[in-house]
Amino acid sequence: MKNHNKQDKLFVNVITPPDNVKAVSEKSSGNASKEPFCIYDHKRHAVGSIIENDDGSKTVCTKDGTWKNTK
């Protein structure tokens, strides 16, 4: 796995399958050693990152480090 240094900068991402990062926030939203994050495709994504699923639904990275489906 790559990009797993404890001091990694975290960014809010919008991800579209298959594993394409559609947009990345320009400003870092924190540090992986201090802030919660979610993992997708072996990469760390900041809280608030969104996965846009093929069926139109969205999954959001939450403060507890899990991906949750939105309504």
Q: Phi and psi (nearest 5°) for 19?
A: 60, 35
Q: What global pTM score does this model have?
A: 0.78
Q: Which amino acid is residue 13, in one-letter code? A: N
Per-residue pLDDT band for 9 (boundaries 50, 70, 90) equals confident
3-state secondary structure of 61: strand
Nearest Cα to Cα of residue 48 among 56, 7, 33, 23: 23
Burial degree of 61 (CB within 10 A; 0-12, 13-18, 19+): buried
Structure confidence by residue, pLDDT tens digits, 18-31: 777 776 777 777 88
Residue 23 bridge partners (DSSP) = 14
Residue 46 near residue 30, CB atoms below 8 Å: yes
